[in-house]
Amino acid sequence: MDILETWTEVLLRLRPLLEPIFVAYGVTPDQAQEMVEEACLILISKRPRRQDPEGWILRTVIESCRKLREEAEVEL
């Protein structure tokens, strides 16, 4: 992500990748929004800047989906 690129542009590029992940893990739209927001906030706070912010967000969201699924399985 270069200095001229906005977070909106990054998220628009990630959307087609994230949507099927959320569907596969049974994540609700509210949960999905929370996961993406949390990942972005963590990424923004990281220093130094990540080389591949899109990949980092994608990996972080997938890990959040896995944790959510594991928690749901434990509750059953």
pLDDT (tens digit per residue) in 20-48: 999 999 999 999 999 999 999 998 887 66
What distance, in Å, lies between the first and last C-alpha atoms of the chain?
A: 41
Given this model, what pLDDT does residue 7 score? Answer: 81
* Closest to 59 measured CA to CA, from 29, 75, 41, 35: 35
pTM, entire model: 0.83
Confidence of residue 12 (pLDDT cuts 50, 70, 90): very high
Given this model, what pLDDT does residue 8 score? Answer: 86
Given this model, what pLDDT does residue 49 score? Answer: 72
